Amino acid sequence: MSNCLTKNPVSVAIIADDLTGAMDTGLQFAQQHLEAVVMMDPAVATPAQVAVYSTETRELPASQSARRLTELLPHLGKRLIYKKIDSTLRGNVGYELRALSALSDVRAIVVAPAFPPGGRTTVGGQQFVHGRPLAMSEIRHDPRWPMRESHVPTLLMQQAGMEVGLVDERIVAQGHAAIVRALLEQPSRIIVVDASTMDDLAQIAKALHTLGSAWIPSGSAGLAQPWAAYLSIGVPVAKMSAFAPLGGASLFVCGSRNPDTLRQVERLAATDVAHITLDVNGSYDEARELARLTSMVCGALGQGQDTLLEACTVPLLPGGGPRITRILGGVVQAAAESCLLGGLFMTGGDVAISICRRLGVEALRIVAEIQPGLPAAQLIGGPADGLGAATKAGGFGTEDALLDVRRWFDDIRQGARAPLADL
């Protein structure tokens, strides 16, 4: 863990339930010129100002999810905590918030899941996606987390088994002082707060900054952005190391089945990239499919051709997710060990974490924002040490997101970008 700051007045821990969410939230702190590092092993200490942890609990049973979060907490020391949750409430959100609320020095967890730039807002406790109640949005049909409840306090109460309070939009509209008063009057240990705009989230962040460390903020990247801004006031800018001088082609690995990602994949596939698709039926013979894809991907990269490897346009294979992520991770490992990579993009949290583990990545240092919600990083450790990488949660980014990532990788190869150049 070289090139990290050894002394700084900011000490924050972000807890997310998947890697893409960890990256996106850490980005909000990197944009404030704080060193944000996503740690692959929570037992490894880092002097970075912002330590980001992915518990990889979104797909776990609720009891395992809560237990894993509880096991992480002793590694955080005295860091301020930010609990990242999905803006559409997917995952074991209530169960994890209950585990976090059990800390003796926690007065309450303040939950503001809104992410206005992505069309996620909270009004009257109801979560909306582009103006539609969560339970009537496309998330209702999510293959892993079909959402049937739009009222956030109700959803969290059902999961956490404890009372959940609400501070509604009328109070939020009065500013941070009114929010402080309302939060202090709430007896609940979990409190939801409405927000429709980034200004609303800024007022909530200011209230939390006023209240101090006993009040834990919990939300998407939307709340993290203004909270990070308050923490960074007067803090020296972090110094970063240069990108590794790799000259290979870029590899795009896509496993998310989100409709937004599918459109982005279609746009990239329509260019001159090598488009390679996993054979879902062939994946039953894991070794054979791994060998087939490795030959095709390494062949294309070896000729200097940017390559798209995807498993998001194939039929859904019930129960096949772990096998598919292992195959994709193995292909990337082979490409990295052959020194063929000049840039690595990953989407789908399970795919991204599988790839990083196969590569022996120790951490990801967040360095730039390619698009809103689309962070870029440097890989630390393993055969791809210093490589420029990017991740994306399924529903984020415009239709040109992957095209923008490709241009960003091209700029790195040409020496036109340095870490933090875009922040």
* Weakest mean pLDDT among 7-11, 32-36, 39-43, 75-79: 7-11
Domains 12-231 and 249-413 share a fold: no
Whether 291 shows a pLDDT value over 80: the answer reads yes
Mean pLDDT estimate for the chain:
90
Whether 158 shows a pLDDT value over 80: the answer reads yes
Q: Regarding predicted confidence, which is higher, 244 or 383?
A: 383
Q: Could you give the C-alpha distances from 347 to 53, 115, 157, 290, in angstroms and in order? A: 18, 19, 31, 19
For the chain, domain boundaries? 12-231, 249-413
The CATH fold assigned to 249-413 is Molybdenum Cofactor Biosythetic Enzyme; Chain A (3.40.980)
The per-residue pLDDT for 415 is: 67
CA dist 28 and 34 (Å) reads 9
Q: Residue 115's closest CA among 195, 205, 174, 17?
A: 195
Q: pLDDT digit string (tens) for 99-131?
A: 999 998 999 999 999 999 889 999 999 999 999
- Report the share of the chain in percent with pLDDT over 90: 74
pLDDT confidence tier of residue 418, bands split at 50, 70 and 90? low
Q: Regarding predicted confidence, which is higher, 108 or 367?
A: 108
pLDDT confidence tier of residue 187, bands split at 50, 70 and 90? very high
CA dist 129 and 127 (Å) reads 7
CA dist 90 and 217 (Å) reads 18
Centroid of chain to Cα 407: 22
| The model's pTM | 0.87
pLDDT confidence tier of residue 423, bands split at 50, 70 and 90? very low
What average pLDDT does the segment 135-151 reach? 86
CB-CB contact of 373 with 118 (8 Å): yes
Q: Regarding predicted confidence, which is higher, 144 or 203?
A: 203
Q: Is residue 154 helix, strand or coil?
A: helix
Q: Regarding predicted confidence, which is higher, 197 or 317?
A: 197
Q: Regarding predicted confidence, which is higher, 261 or 172?
A: 172
What average pLDDT does the segment 409-420 reach? 69
Whether 234 shows a pLDDT value over 80: the answer reads no
What average pLDDT does the segment 233-242 reach? 65
pLDDT confidence tier of residue 248, bands split at 50, 70 and 90? confident
Q: pLDDT digit string (tens) for 297-307?
A: 999 999 999 99
Side-chain-side CA neighbours of residue 334 (13 Å)? 18
Whether 242 shows a pLDDT value over 70: the answer reads no
CATH architecture of the domain with residue range 12-231 = 3-Layer(aba) Sandwich (3.40)
What average pLDDT does the segment 191-202 reach? 98
Whether 239 shows a pLDDT value over 90: the answer reads no
